[in-house]
Amino acid sequence: MAVQVSESDQIKQFKEFLGTYNKVTENCFMDCVKDFTSRDVKADESSCSESCLQKYLKMTQRISMRFQEYHIQQNEALAAKAGLLGQPR
């Protein structure tokens, strides 16, 4: 069974993505770009930016995994509680 996502939900998700993208871009830019005397991006600035983005992506992935683990634990606890409540005494 395929899940249908409404157009308004898609737009909302895309806006959230753009907000996050803009925030990460701004943070990494502010942390990494220091020299405005040249049009060229220095090697250390480029390396810093790449590391900044990688760190953010890894952090986001880790948070997502922990969030999923938490929900699995909560569902198991609810199922166990429902099993105990559903048994006759």
- Domain ranges in the chain? 21-80
CATH code for the structural domain at 21-80:
1.10.287.810
Contact 29, 50 (CB under 8 A): no
- Diameter of the chain measured on Cα atoms: 79
Looking at every residue in the chain, the average pLDDT score rounds to 89
Contact 67, 42 (CB under 8 A): no
pTM for the complete prediction?
Answer: 0.65
Kindly report, residue by residue over 35-65, the tens digit of the pLDDT.
999 999 999 999 999 999 999 999 999 999 9
Amino acid at 66: R
- Averaged over 69-74, what is the pLDDT? 93
- Torsion angle in degrees (nearest 10) through CA of 59, 61, 63, 67: 180
**Under DSSP, is residue 35 helix (H, G, I), strand (E, B) or coil?**
coil
Residue 4 parent element (H or E): none
Q: Which two tokens stand for residue 68?
A: 């999923």
